[in-house]
Amino acid sequence: MSEQPADVTVLLQQANRGNAEAGSELFRRVQQQLHDMAERKLSREQAGATIQATVLVHDAFLQLVGAEQEVDWNDRKHFYVLAAQAMRRILIDRARGRRALKRGGAHRQRVDVVVENVAARSSDDELLALHEALKEMAEFDPRQAKIVELRHFGGYSVEETADLIEMSTSTVKQEFAAAKAWLYRQLSQS
């Protein structure tokens, strides 16, 4: 993350208060990082994905900065965590829409996902099943759910995830392994 953290935080706050010039400058500074996140995520999506990294970046940025309500940005790390969440919501919404068109909306097939690597390629059904399992996980272990979200939907490495949530890399690795095991059990039962 090559941009100046303090500058990005100030720009986030100004853009969120409606300063269009700050919003443009913010986008210029964070665009490459967001694009890298989107590319990492989309590279693991099923072939023939219907969204490009640039579109995903723009949609996520607009959700974050163009939102009606003012967000109290803590810092750039907070922004990138929320960016991963926004990308997740966009991808989930698109998967739901495609599944509804493809299957009439109500049909759900058995999902057989091997979670040796949660970031493996996933179909719309698998992505939606993962989303539902993450929502359930967040109820009893929000930290593990956050780690999976950052690793899978944000495309962050172990080191980047540890930096973003201010945790050691060994803790992130342990929590991610435990989360993958739980997700495997949950998704195998579907």
Q: Please state the domain count of the chain.
A: 1
The predicted model scores a pTM of 0.58
Q: Domain containing 67: what range?
A: 5-189
More confident residue, 74 or 24: 24
pLDDT of residue 69: 57
pLDDT of residue 19: 77
Q: Which of 71, 67, 36 is nearest to 157 (CA)?
A: 36
Give the tens place of pLDDT for each residue, 140-182. 999 999 998 888 878 888 998 999 899 999 889 888 888 888 8
Interatomic CA distance for residues 172 and 66, integer angstroms? 31
More confident residue, 144 or 17: 144
- 141 three-state secondary structure: coil
